[in-house]
Amino acid sequence: MTKIFHEIRDPIHVFIHLDWYEKKVLDSRPFQRLRNITQLALTYLLYPGATHKRFEHSLGVMELASRVFEVITKPTNVTDEVKGLLPDLGNADALPYWKHVLRMAALCHDIGHLPFSHAAEEELLPKGWTHERLSRSLIESDEMRAIWKSMVPRLDPEDIVKLAVGARKAKDLQFSKWEAILSEIIVGDAFGVDRIDYLLRDSHHTGVAYGKFDHYRLIDELRNLPSFEGSSEPALGINGGGIYSAEALALARYFMFSQVYYHPIRLIYDRHLMDFLSAWLSQGTLLPVGTFPIDIEGHLKTTDDEINAAMRIAASDAKAPGHHAAHCIMRHCHYKVLYERDPQDAKLNSEPGAAIARAAEIEFGKDPVRYSKPKVKDVATDFPVRGRDGRILAAISASETLSKLQPTAMEYVFIDPQLKDKAKTWLGKNRDKILAAAGEQEDQDHEA
Amino acid sequence: MKHSQRAALLTLLNREMLNRGSWCGETHIQKAAFFLQDLLGVDSGFEFILYRHGPFSFDLRDELSSMQAEDLLELAMRREGYGPTYVPTPFSETFLERFPRTTARYLEQIRFVAAELGDKAVAELERLATAFFILDREGIVDLKRRALRLVELKPHISLPEARFACEQVDSLIERARPFMLEEEE
């Protein structure tokens, strides 16, 4: 007899339940491919436990999205004011449809990821392409459409796309207030379950305990609220009683970024990986243009496995394209930190690391120097809080802790280990001069 | 425009908006930057879509975060029950002094936007910016059709409010003409 419901054991959420249609998505080629895409790229070279995959993360996101949906649509958690802002909450017949859409969107939100997740995305996809756009192509592919079409009620792929990638990445689509809220459940800056799952899961696998927080309490206190007192715009907010767990989430994110995601050694391995991929792809192995494939079949064929095998061969063949980068990765002889952004230097020049990297390239050549400026992460304190007296407060007004959190700018310049001592001496002598000269050029229209 | 020049532009916009009495929450800055770019032609490189309270740019949101990280802006609470305000840091004036060309080039446009929008609250900014978005992006010139489209996109706005917003935008465009920049290379 065909099983209607399935359950999967998970180290974070214990059991994840799937229905028959979700199992079909699980068994599809795009989803099974995620078994071979590491969540944290080469982070396992620093944190050996970090070998987990996008596969289990996507299941976790579905589980959490479902829990949030149940909480924020529960009639006792919806005030009349919010019903006025979001009439969909009163449409009991439509809610099961949207729950299906939300769960499918959560399952599929990462299916467009390239090998090694984010490490090579910006540089190695054709202009205008992102992993979200690839996810969208896959959700709208014939293979996946057949599943959406077979469902009762039938799911509209555009609805799944909206919730899976959000307004930031689906700029051509118009979002109703309800769709915007549902997409926030998955990809939202403040309480998106993508973020909640990856913090918990990455923390578990890296062994870095900072990423843990009381997500049970957090989810239980989430509510649809007006963005601010009297606003016509609803947002995913929290009851005052949940503010401590929201603080813990923000702190977990802060620590995980500083300790794991933006750890300088992880950043330099990303650079080495990108160097290898640029060289490897330029051979025309996948596409002659030197980018990752964006057609569905090409995408489905490319996972970490193919890259790892190629890297292993290139590392031991001095003539192979990308040999040096592959060697740095496989033999753990990564470039070393020459310079780390100092806030005082940033008073002289907005991007002191970039200025030093340019000067180092002139001094030592391009090959031994690498520069990394990870994207500044918003601290995501822009959400409403319902105080005990029923008033809507801004999060930084409701929490002293959140009001103190600031985003952090980071920059690193790396140097070939063989040149480290020489480069340190050079930098010691020239640092102030480099920064002052670069600062004077900032207001010019073009890069000097 | 380079990242640092864009930061100088927004630092100046923040200062001028505050001088004109703006609350200067994120929404106020978003709408002011939208008019600065799409109406006056200051090519700051932000992509605006219809989202929170009308035209909204995720790139601009990222830029504001970067500026906080770079000690150019900070969030402050001015009154309980209201959203936070972006205020300049002690370093921001020193930073602006490094950008005499950028600030001189766009000062008139920034002052125009600040003078026109500085006293407006979120609800009014939403109506005006969305009305201009419809004209600019969807090319709907007829006032009645534009007002109907505004109500369709923002059902909490009444038809008389929508019509008034469209009229205000038409008049704003006329006042803006002397400050409009030619398309930059």
Can you give the pLDDT at residue B185? 46
Cis peptide before B155 (omega within 30 of 0): no
Which pLDDT band holds residue B81 (cuts at 50, 70, 90)?
low
A86 interaction partners in chain B (CB closer than 8 Å): none
> For testing the chain A interface, which of B66, B157, B184 should be mutated: the one with the most A CBs within 10 Å?
B66
CA separation for the pair A282, A288 (Å, rounded): 7
- Predicted structure pTM score: 0.93
The residue among A4 and B166 whose pLDDT is bigger is B166
Q: How far is CA B100 from CA A344, A442, B1, in A?
A: 22, 10, 14
Chain A residue with minimal CA distance to B95? Answer: A347
Residue B30 within a domain? yes
Instruction: Inspect the interface and report whether the beta carbons of A403 and B75 lie closer than 8 Å.
Output: yes
Instruction: Inspect the interface and report whether the beta carbons of A167 and B51 lie closer than 8 Å.
Output: yes
Query: What are chain A's domains?
Result: 5-261 (1.10.3210.10), 265-375+410-440 (1.20.1250)
What tokens appear for A412 in the block?
A: 């690193």
Would you tell me the crossing angle of helices B100-117 and B3-19 to the nearest 10 degrees?
A: 40
Give which of A204, A195, A194, A209 is closest to A51, Cα–Cα: A204
Can you give the pLDDT at residue A2? 65
| Helix%, strand%, coil% for chain A, nearest 5 | 55, 10, 35
CA separation for the pair A203, B56 (Å, rounded): 33
Give which of B170, B27, B71, B37 is closest to A343, Cα–Cα: B71
Residue B94 within a domain? yes
Q: What DSSP element (H or E) covers A429?
A: helix A420-440
CA separation for the pair B133, A40 (Å, rounded): 40
**Is the pLDDT assigned to residue B184 strictly greater than 60?**
no
Instruction: Inspect the interface and report whether the beta carbons of A442 and B2 lie closer than 8 Å.
Output: yes
| B101 interface with A at CB cutoff 8 Å | yes
Encoded amino acid at B28, one letter? H
CA separation for the pair A276, A95 (Å, rounded): 48
CB A56 within 8 A of CB A62: no
CA separation for the pair A428, B39 (Å, rounded): 48
Alpha-carbon distance B70 to nearest alpha carbon in chain A (angstroms)? 6
Phi, psi of A131 (to 5 degrees): -65, -30
Q: Which of residues 160-199 of A touch B (CB under 8 A)?
A: 167-168, 171, 174-175, 180
Chain B residue with minimal CA distance to A384? Answer: B83
Give which of A327, A320, A316 is closest to A273, Cα–Cα: A327
The residue among B183 and A239 whose pLDDT is bigger is A239
What tokens appear for B154 in the block?
A: 């923002």
| B53 interface with A at CB cutoff 8 Å | yes
Phi, psi of B87 (to 5 degrees): -125, 155
Can you give the pLDDT at residue A128? 86
A396 interaction partners in chain B (CB closer than 8 Å): 75, 77, 84
Alpha-carbon distance B82 to nearest alpha carbon in chain A (angstroms)? 7
pLDDT (tens digit, 9 = 90+) per residue, B124-165? 999 999 999 999 999 999 999 999 999 999 988 999 999 999
Cβ-based burial of A122 (10 A; exposed 0-12, middle 13-18, buried ≥19) = exposed
Alpha-carbon distance B141 to nearest alpha carbon in chain A (angstroms)? 21
| B3 interface with A at CB cutoff 8 Å | yes
The beta-carbon neighbor of A394 closest among B2, B49, B77 is: B77
3-state secondary structure at position A15: strand
B54 interaction partners in chain A (CB closer than 8 Å): none
Give which of B112, B84, B110, B119 is closest to B10, Cα–Cα: B110
CB B42 within 8 A of CB B36: yes
Query: pLDDT in tens for each of the 448 residues of chain A?
Result: 567 789 999 999 999 999 999 999 999 999 999 999 999 999 999 999 999 999 999 999 999 999 999 999 999 999 888 988 898 888 888 999 999 999 999 999 999 999 987 767 777 888 888 999 999 999 999 999 999 999 989 999 999 999 999 999 999 999 999 999 999 999 999 999 999 999 999 999 999 999 999 999 999 999 999 988 888 889 999 999 999 999 999 999 999 999 999 999 999 999 999 999 989 888 765 554 568 888 999 999 999 999 999 999 999 999 999 999 999 999 999 999 999 999 999 988 889 999 999 999 999 999 999 999 999 988 878 899 999 888 999 998 899 999 989 899 999 999 999 999 999 999 999 999 999 887 777 887 655 4
CA separation for the pair A195, A61 (Å, rounded): 9
CB B114 within 8 A of CB B13: yes
The beta-carbon neighbor of A350 closest among B4, B62, B156 is: B4
Q: What is the mean pLDDT of chain B?
A: 93
- Give the range of the structural domain holding residue B17, as residue numbers without chain letter: 3-179
CA separation for the pair B108, A443 (Å, rounded): 18
Q: Give the total number of structural domains in chain B.
A: 1
Q: What DSSP element (H or E) covers A222?
A: strand A222-226
Residue B184 within a domain? no
